[in-house]
Amino acid sequence: MNSQSNKVAIIGGGPAGLSAAIYTSRADLAPVLYAGSPPGGQLMLTSEVENYPGYPNILGPNLIDIFRKQAEKFDTKIIDENISSVDFTKNPFTLNYSDKTVTANSVIIATGAKALWLNLPSEQRLRGKGVSACATCDGFFFKDKVVAVVGGGDTAMEEAQTLTKFAKLVYIIHRRDSFRASQIMQARVKGNSVIKIIWNASIEEVLGKDKVEGLKIKNQKSEIRDLTIDGLFIAIGHKPDTGLFKDKIILDEKGYIVTSTFAAIRAARSKELDLDKFNFNYQTMTSIPGVFAAGDCVDHIYRQAGTASGMGIAAALDAERWIMENKSIS
């Protein structure tokens, strides 16, 4: 078993992790970034990106490649492996992958989150070709088109409302006869003339060879009909990639990592949380001193490449300051 010691280890190779790598490497902290396998996060599954500042139009994988090259320029070591286990009980922290064990004085977690999908073969085949899980990211491509949103929660309502800025008609397809979304969100959707709700229906197949052209939907009576659309937005939830950290740091009820910022918000909303576990001098710190988190594994609200990048930068600055203030452990 090989052993290696680092000042900073970054877990995750998406915008948050790579932004953290750029900043910590420029701070001469010699970070090692474990990018995962396959590396790159959700942007690797995204076709065109038009809303990342500085790039009017770029493919998601190309944007990740630019991030990686910039991080490597400042001597970040990138390893395309998945961390399999961690031990945060003492510093230096221990991380394991393959047959190797490494230690680090500080860890930045940027493992991201994954959209939940219907898991239809046709849906997966047309991802990035009219099938999306982000109206904010991709709604612009459907100006004056007909689109459908699948889901019944607040996220689905928000996606539908966003899409009305672009599409001429937005269907919401829900498998039940009522939404689970908040009443105010339901009222907004039901009062919007551009939105049409299809109750008690499920999607059997996404139609189209090279792009989305329609859906086969089934009602409660098992009757199947075709629905002509140009785009399909899946809004049935997200799952953070944080299983590795269960019982290692504090997670919320959905599995998102709780940092000082979100702990303060939860406390303000009278949510039960042990605030003594958090150091509010470091907004991105988790319940373990020296362990920070950024990006979609923390942020269940915005879930954008730009916000993830900004959080990664904040985590890097926090980690740098924490290491400086705790020189005795490094």
Distance CA 311, CA 282 (A): 12
The answer to whether 136 and 149 have CB atoms below 8 angstroms apart is no
Structure tokens at 13: 């190779």
Could you tell me which residue, 56 or 171, shows the higher pLDDT?
A: 171
Residue 54: closest CA among 313, 309, 296: 309
pLDDT tens-digit map of 121-145: 999 999 989 999 999 889 999 999 9
Q: Determine the pLDDT at residue 271.
A: 65
pLDDT tens-digit map of 73-114: 999 999 999 999 999 999 999 999 998 999 999 999 999 998
Is 297 a residue of the active site? Answer: no
Distance CA 128, CA 120 (A): 15
Walk me through the domains of the chain, giving residue ranges and CATH numbers.
2-114+238-329 (3.50.50.60), 117-234 (3.50.50.60)
Residue 161, φ and ψ in degrees, nearest 5: -60, -45
Mean pLDDT across the chain: 93
Residue 152: closest CA among 197, 204, 212: 197
For the segment 248-262, the average pLDDT, to the nearest whole number, is 92
Q: Determine the pLDDT at residue 64.
A: 95
Distance CA 188, CA 157 (A): 8
Q: Determine the pLDDT at residue 167.
A: 98
3-state secondary structure the chain: CEEEEEEEEEECCCHHHHHHHHHHHHCCCCCEEECCCCCCHHHHHCCEECCECCECCEEHHHHHHHHHHHHHHCCCEEECCCCCEEECCCCCEEEEECCEEEEEEEEEECCCEEECCCCCHHHHHCECCCEECCHHHHHHHHCCCEEEEECCCHHHHHHHHHHCCCCCEEEEECCCCCCCCCHHHHHHHHCCCCEEEECCEEEEEEECCCCCCEEEEEECCCCEEEEECCEEEECCCEEECCHHHCCCCCECCCCCECCHHHHHHHHHCCCCCCHHHCCCCCCCECCCCCEEECHHHCCCCCCCHHHHHHHHHHHHHHHHHHHHHCHHHC
Residue 291: closest CA among 8, 3, 4: 8
Q: Determine the pLDDT at residue 38.
A: 79
Structure tokens at 139: 């709604």
327: CB partners within 8 A, 6+ apart:
none
Which residue among the candidates 28, 99, 138, 274 is catalytic per the annotation? 138
Distance CA 222, CA 236 (A): 22
Residue 232, φ and ψ in degrees, nearest 5: -125, 125
pLDDT tens-digit map of 259-302: 998 887 777 665 667 788 899 899 999 999 999 999 999 998 88
Which residue among the candidates 65, 87, 137, 144 is catalytic per the annotation? 137
Distance CA 132, CA 146 (A): 14
Which residue among the candidates 65, 80, 87, 134 is catalytic per the annotation? 134
Q: Determine the pLDDT at residue 3.
A: 56
Residue 235: Cβ within 10 Å count: 24
Q: Determine the pLDDT at residue 1.
A: 45
The answer to whether 186 and 179 have CB atoms below 8 angstroms apart is yes
pLDDT tens-digit map of 19-45: 999 999 999 999 999 999 878 888 886
- Candidate from 10-14, 45-49, 192-196, 230-234 with smallest mean pLDDT: 45-49
